[in-house]
């Protein structure tokens, strides 16, 4: 399982004028580079300030060094409006106070540039928790507002956001804002009139921070699959007291397209047994989609962390007796997976090829973060992600 730094790979593409500066070691730089894989840009909007021997030996003041690196960076990249200092294991172990550094640098570079900090360290966060920490860091920077508004929380692809915006508009729900915003200046306001819908299941800290600002969470399952999307939209519609007839009228076309799209894969997936390794915290909503809409059988559903409150609606939809496992003990999970010999295994990149070589069919979970899968018009793509490995195995005669 990756650490929370990985979130930078999708976060930096979402907030187009933000830069992510990891304060860490060569390992951290190497992790992001490896997770980003082929996405090598000229100058990516992320980098690592690599702590070196001099910083550790006290020969250089780490804070001065950081200021120097940031100054050089901002000079090179004048278009940056929002800078995140991202903590790592080494910065935390040596107790480098990035919140003080962010405060200091914010003052120095304000008003043009805001500097925030969060931790993506592997001793505190796993994989998607990095997004949670990042969004939670944005909350104190949001303006106060008492106006009634809907806030959608969690990174979504722009195309998905636009689809949801159109649906909310047609339902008569508004204004609708998104966190994170596409540009730093569009950071939405928050306050007692704010009702928020989580678009991702791993945003515990962000939700807590929003609630502390007076916002109210609208409990709902997550917008994966036709059913998940409908229930998610419906929860907002209920909060806005939209009548059922209007809801049905507005969502009918989407629901219809989604169920037609997923039905193409159902034949391939129905009755197949799936094993989910803990990785992204998307496992439970995925399991719900796979069992209820694709008629798959759940062998084991692992999740690195189970937030019972945010996932209450999802858990209620899982077939009774579903085997859930929380946390990670990879060797034991592998033993169970091998014994169960599922038809398809959802796992991280480190396990996929070794399991394939053992004759198991796999789907790597990181693709679920990089591919738009939420909403009616992506339900078919989501199903396809699981069907493709099975279809492929069927095609190959070598």
* Contacts to other proteins by CB under 8 A: 1-6, 23, 25-27, 29-31, 33-35, 38, 40, 42-44, 47-53, 55-56, 60, 62, 65-66, 68-69, 72-73, 89-90, 92-94, 121-124, 126, 328, 331, 348-354, 356-357
* Residues sharing a CB contact under 8 Å with residue 379, sequence separation 6 or more, in sequence order: 224, 225, 226, 229, 258, 259, 261, 262, 293
Q: Could you tell me if 283 and 318 are in contact, meaning their C-beta atoms sit under 8 angstroms apart?
A: no
Which residues, in sequence order, are CB contacts of 267 under 8 Å at separation 6+? Answer: none
C-alpha 398/C-alpha 389 separation (Å) is 15
What length is written for the chain? 398
Query: Which position has the token pair 């007076």?
Result: 214
Query: 60: number of CA atoms within 13 Å, CB side?
Result: 14
Which region, judged by CB under 6 A, interacts with ligand SF4, from 24-32, 110-118, 195-203, 325-333? Answer: 24-32
> Least separation, in Å, of the C-beta of 132 and other proteins?
15
**Minimum CB separation from other proteins for residue 42, in Å?**
6
Compute the least distance from the CB of residue 96 to other proteins, in Å.
10
| 89 touches ligand SF4 by CB under 6 A | yes
Residue 122 in contact with ligand SF4, rule: CB under 6 A: yes
Question: Based on CB atoms, which residue is closest to other proteins, 88 or 374?
Answer: 88
Q: How far is CA 89 from CA 122, 202, 273, in A?
A: 6, 21, 37
Q: Does 365 bind ligand SF4 (CB under 6 A)?
A: no
Least distance from ligand SF4 to the Cβ atom of residue 185, Å: 29
Residue choice 14, 17, 85, 88 for contact with ligand SF4 (CB under 6 A): 88
- Taking CB within 5 to 8 Å according to partner kind, which of ligand SF4, other proteins, none is near residue 68? other proteins
Is residue 286 within 8 A of residue 294, CB to CB? The reply is no
Strands across the sheet containing 324-326? 324-326, 297-303, 273-276, 344-347, 362-364
- The span of 20-28, 174-182, 300-308, 372-380 binding ligand SF4 (CB under 6 A) equals 20-28
Report the residue from 121, 206, 280, 378 that binds ligand SF4 according to the rule CB under 6 A. 121
Work out whether 27 is an interface residue with ligand SF4 (CB under 6 A). yes
Contact between 205 and 139 (Cβ < 8 Å): no
Residues near ligand SF4, by CB under 6 A: 3, 5, 24-25, 27-28, 31, 88-89, 121-122
């Amino acid at each position: 399982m990756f650490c929370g730094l990985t979130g930078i790979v999708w976060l930096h593409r979402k907030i187009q004028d933000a830069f992510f500066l990891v304060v860490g070691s060569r390992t951290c730089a190497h992790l992001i580079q490896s997770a980003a894989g082929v996405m090598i840009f000229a100058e990516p909007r992320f980098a690592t300030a690599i702590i070196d021997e001099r910083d550790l030996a006290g020969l250089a003041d780490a804070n001065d060094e950081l200021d120097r690196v940031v100054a050089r960076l901002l000079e090179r990249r004048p278009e940056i409006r929002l800078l995140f200092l991202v903590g790592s294991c080494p910065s935390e172990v040596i107790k480098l106070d990035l919140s003080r550094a962010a405060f200091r640098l914010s003052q120095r570079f304000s008003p043009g540039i805001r500097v925030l900090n969060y931790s993506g360290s592997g001793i505190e966060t796993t994989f998607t928790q990095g997004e949670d920490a990042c969004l939670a860091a944005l909350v104190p920077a949001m303006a106060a507002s008492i106006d009634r508004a809907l806030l959608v929380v969690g990174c979504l692809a722009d195309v998905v956001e636009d689809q949801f915006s159109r649906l909310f508009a047609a339902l008569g729900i508004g204004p609708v804002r998104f966190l994170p915003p596409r540009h730093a200046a569009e950071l939405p306001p928050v306050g007692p009139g704010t009702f928020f819908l989580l678009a991702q299941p791993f945003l515990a800290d962000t939700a807590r921070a929003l609630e502390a600002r007076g916002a109210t969470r609208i409990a709902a399952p997550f917008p994966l699959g036709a059913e998940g999307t409908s229930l998610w939209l419906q929860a907002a519609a209920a909060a806005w007291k939209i009548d059922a007839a209007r809801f049905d009228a507005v969502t009918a076309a989407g629901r219809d397209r989604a169920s037609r799209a997923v039905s193409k894969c159902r034949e391939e997936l129905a009755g197949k047994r799936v094993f989910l390794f803990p990785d992204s915290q998307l496992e439970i909503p995925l399991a719900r989609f796979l069992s209820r809409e694709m008629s798959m059988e759940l062998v084991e559903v692992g999740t690195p962390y189970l937030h019972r409150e945010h996932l209450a609606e999802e858990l209620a939809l899982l077939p009774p007796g579903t085997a859930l496992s929380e946390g990670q003990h990879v060797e034991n999970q592998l033993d169970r997976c091998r014994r169960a010999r599922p038809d398809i295994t959802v796992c991280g990149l480190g396990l996929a090829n070794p399991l394939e070589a053992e004759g198991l069919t796999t789907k790597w979970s990181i693709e679920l973060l990089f591919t738009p899968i939420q909403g009616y018009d992506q339900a078919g793509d989501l199903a396809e992600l699981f069907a493709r490995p099975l279809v492929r195995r069927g095609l190959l005669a070598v």
